[in-house]
Structure 1
Amino acid sequence: MLDKRSLLLAGALCAVSLSLGACSAEEEKGGRGAPEVGYVVARVEAVPVTTSLGGRTVAFETSEVRPQVNGLIRRRLFTEGGFVRAGQPLYQIDPSLYQAGVEQAAANLASARASAQAAEERARRLEPLAKMQAVAEQDYTDALAEARMARAAIAQNNAALETARINLRYATITAPISGRIGRSLATPGALVSASQATPLATIQQTDPMYVDMQQSSAELTRLRQAIESGGVTAGSASVRLRLEDGSAYGPVGTVQFSEVTVSEATGTVTLRARFPNPRGVLLPGMFVTALFDQAVNPSAILLPQAAVQRDFDGSAFVYLVGKDNKAARRKIVADRTVGANWVVTDGLKPGERVITQGIGNLRQGAPIRPVPASSVQRVGAQPKGAATGGTAEAKGK
């Protein structure tokens, strides 16, 4: 009796095992046991070619305050570090000598005018006498020459008076431009001269500001060749700044020009951009990083960074949804990023499906179940047959 029951139980177990094996084989044959992966469709987009260049800030205008006459400084008329306007008095040089020079030149001019008046009067008196031959012709000629010389002396003394007035005006040193003035390098009582090498102070206009950037001539040449060949198009002239602490500078600048010569020492070309600086955040001499779109690639493809993997040699590759829903490994060219995406410039065609989720254990030619990456899914989930079998085993226990 026991033998019959054992035989019946063994037969039933074999039947169940065969049934489960057949079901599992059918599921694998139907593809339901393949891992589920998410994909995106490759699309061509216009992607800007962003250039990052280091640079230094440069004042929009810089002027060194220098004396134009000699003398002792009597007063300093500005606050160091403050804002000054063009024409504002900055230093007062002792004007005594220059005031005296003006008075002397004025007196010389008055004397010349009196002499000229006498010479002209004498020439007028001799004119009718010379016509009547009452005086020698030479005397009249000499009188006319003296009158002309007297008029020339007036012009000379008038110029001397103007020069004296200019020197007196230069005794008050004024600001040549508007801007922030630095520390004073001369104090009251210091003797200054028009030929001295050291300036008295420096004025810098800091709104707007320039940023001078250095770009490799080789990189600039490649970019120009790419634009000429039609591979990329010219980009925008707008520039963004990143400050020394890594923070972004708010106002946007504009590229003004690039130098026409290459530095022999560094092999770079200088580009200059102009930025508004109303709050005075930018100071002359700061190191900054400039970011701007020098060109636009009209035929690039953007891929999420999770989709791109690297080989041991550093080359990039992706997995595609291949024929018969099998994973296909493909090498690509992805040299830079834009935001959270890689910019692919070679190796992909529009419309190809690139796997972005569930790529951890993929192999070339492995069967997969692709679904759009934006849909609700269980990427990398266990096959349904395995889950069912585990549950049945648990129930059996």
Structure 2
Amino acid sequence: MQRRYTLPVLLWLAACGEEPQSREPSRPPPRVGIVEVRPRPTPLAFTYGGRVTATRQTEVRARVGGILLRRAFTEGSEVREGDVLFLIDPAPYQAAVNLATAQVQEAEATTQRARRDQQRTAALLRAAAGSEKDRDDAVFALAQAEAALAAASARLATSRLELGYSTVTAPIAGFTSLEAMPEGSLVGTGEANSLLTRITQLDPVQVAFAFHLPDLAALSAGDGPDLQAEVVLGPDGGPQGRVSFTEATVDPATGTVRARATLPNAGHRLRPGQFVRIRVSGRLRDAIRIPQSAVQQDIQGPFAYVLGPDSRAERRALRLGRLLGEEWVIEEGLRAGDRVIAEGVAKVTEGAVVDAQEARP
């Protein structure tokens, strides 16, 4: 016979548990995405502060004294090697050349006469018509004349050299500075009054900076032939070159290693003395990288969940290296072949069973 219950009876039976109890269905394990750890050659980039220096910079100085007659360039303009820059009054030096030329001609004539006299005295001595003293005197006179000719020739060469120095040319190509002495000034050859201008070469340029020792060690572990360098000037980047010098010793005061990069500067965007940011890049051999989303942080430090036996999540403490884009370089804590949970990490607890699938690239 079928039972009929009124509402109060049903409520009493439910409270007493006479009705069969319904069980909630168990939740499925959370679905997560995993990545398998594989050591990969990893590019490294470190950014430092640096100062731009000229590859070549020289002072243009007067080699002879005199009145500065003319400046033949526009201050701040670009000049080529060998271009005329200044003209010092050449008249005294031209007169010295003329005088030295006359002295050379006179010495040549004296030498020719002494040579003929020596030849005659030698012939007379062979014919028993002369004396040995006459021969010796003639030989001595010829030697004196030849020495005087050599001295006159040296004075002529010096005079011509000084005359050439009266026209001051550019020793290198580059950009000139302001003139140090105006036209009409009396220039000399001393340290105080010989500077005329400076020339600075702007292409290429160098950037002086200092490596942090751990950074240099990481970069030196790579297999690339050179360390590449780029000046950070904005979204469009800047000139790119290479590290051309690295000091062999460490500065004991700062723990850094001095270095220098050489970069092209065709557009002259970099100027000597300018402070810039320079990014140095190389390659780190066989580094372990995992997505940034896989790394968690708590009071014990950074960690990640690794898929263990029976699809259970295991906690691994990590020692992090550099953040490269959206990936962390892992110094310690993971091994090749580990499967790290990179997606759905927020739903995972230590020891929980997970439904693991390959993470999206």
Normalised-by-shorter TM-score class: 0.7 to 0.9
**Corresponding residue to 1:187 among 170, 182, 185:** 182
Displacement, 1:175?
A: 0.3
The verdict on how the C-alpha distance between 1:53 and 1:347 changes in structure 2, with shifts beyond 3 A counting, is same
Contact 2:60 2:199 in 1 (8 A): yes
Displacement, 1:290?
A: 3.1
Alignment partners' CA distance in 1, 2:187 and 2:252: 40
Alignment partners' CA distance in 2, 1:73 and 1:275: 38
* Residue in structure 1 matched with residue 257 of structure 2 by the alignment: 269
1:203 aligns with 2:199: yes
Alignment partners' CA distance in 1, 2:312 and 2:358: 15
Contact 1:40 1:373 in 2 (8 A): yes
Alignment partners' CA distance in 2, 1:111 and 1:351: 96
Q: Secondary structure at the match of 1:234?
A: coil
**Corresponding residue to 1:213 among 209, 212, 215:** 209
**Corresponding residue to 1:131 among 122, 126, 145:** 126
**Corresponding residue to 2:80 among 69, 82, 85:** 85
Displacement, 1:282?
A: 2.0
1:168 aligns with 2:163: yes
The verdict on how the C-alpha distance between 1:322 and 1:13 changes in structure 2, with shifts beyond 3 A counting, is farther
The verdict on how the C-alpha distance between 1:37 and 1:141 changes in structure 2, with shifts beyond 3 A counting, is same
Aligned-partner residue type, residue 6 of structure 2: R
Displacement, 1:258?
A: 2.1
1:311 aligns with 2:312: no
Contact 1:236 1:293 in 2 (8 A): no
The verdict on how the C-alpha distance between 1:352 and 1:268 changes in structure 2, with shifts beyond 3 A counting, is closer
* Residue in structure 1 matched with residue 69 of structure 2 by the alignment: 74
Matches within 5 A, 1:1-397: 4-6=5-7, 10=11, 18=20, 21-22=22-23, 24=24, 27-28=25-26, 31-32=27-28, 34-197=29-192, 199-216=195-212, 220=216, 222-223=217-218, 232-243=221-232, 245-247=233-235, 249-263=237-251, 266-298=254-286, 300-312=287-299, 315-360=301-346, 362-374=348-360
Displacement, 1:196?
A: 2.0
Normalising by structure 1, what TM-score? 0.79
Displacement, 1:252?
A: 2.7
Q: Secondary structure at the match of 1:335?
A: strand
**CA RMSD in angstroms, aligned pairs only:** 3.0
Where does structure 2 lack aligned partners over 5 or more consecutive residues?
none
Alignment partners' CA distance in 2, 1:179 and 1:305: 49
Displacement, 1:308?
A: 0.9
Alignment partners' CA distance in 1, 2:124 and 2:131: 9
Displacement, 1:95?
A: 1.0
Say which structure is richer in helix. 1
Displacement, 1:356?
A: 2.6
Displacement, 1:47?
A: 1.6
Q: Secondary structure at the match of 1:278?
A: coil
Displacement, 1:317?
A: 0.5
Alignment partners' CA distance in 2, 1:199 and 1:49: 46
The verdict on how the C-alpha distance between 1:236 and 1:7 changes in structure 2, with shifts beyond 3 A counting, is farther
Deviations 1:333-357 (A, max 9, x none): 2121111110113212334332233
* Residue in structure 2 matched with residue 378 of structure 1 by the alignment: none
Displacement, 1:185?
A: 1.4
Displacement, 1:286?
A: 2.5
The verdict on how the C-alpha distance between 1:87 and 1:8 changes in structure 2, with shifts beyond 3 A counting, is same
Alignment partners' CA distance in 1, 2:346 and 2:143: 106
Deviations 1:217-236 (A, max 9, x none): 5764x559xx7xxxx44334
**Which is worse superposed, 338-347 or 134-143?**
134-143
Aligned-partner residue type, residue 204 of structure 2: P
Q: Secondary structure at the match of 2:139?
A: helix
Alignment partners' CA distance in 2, 1:177 and 1:134: 67
Q: Secondary structure at the match of 1:330?
A: strand
Q: Secondary structure at the match of 2:195?
A: coil
Displacement, 1:311?
A: 2.9
Displacement, 1:374?
A: 2.5
Alignment partners' CA distance in 2, 1:269 and 1:275: 20
Contact 2:107 2:148 in 1 (8 A): yes
Displacement, 1:248?
A: 5.6
Displacement, 1:121?
A: 2.8
Where does structure 1 lack aligned partners over 5 or more consecutive residues?
376-397
Displacement, 1:325?
A: 4.0
The verdict on how the C-alpha distance between 1:44 and 1:261 changes in structure 2, with shifts beyond 3 A counting, is closer
The verdict on how the C-alpha distance between 1:323 and 1:130 changes in structure 2, with shifts beyond 3 A counting, is closer
Alignment partners' CA distance in 2, 1:45 and 1:203: 48
Displacement, 1:195?
A: 1.9
Q: Secondary structure at the match of 2:63?
A: coil
* Residue in structure 2 matched with residue 393 of structure 1 by the alignment: none
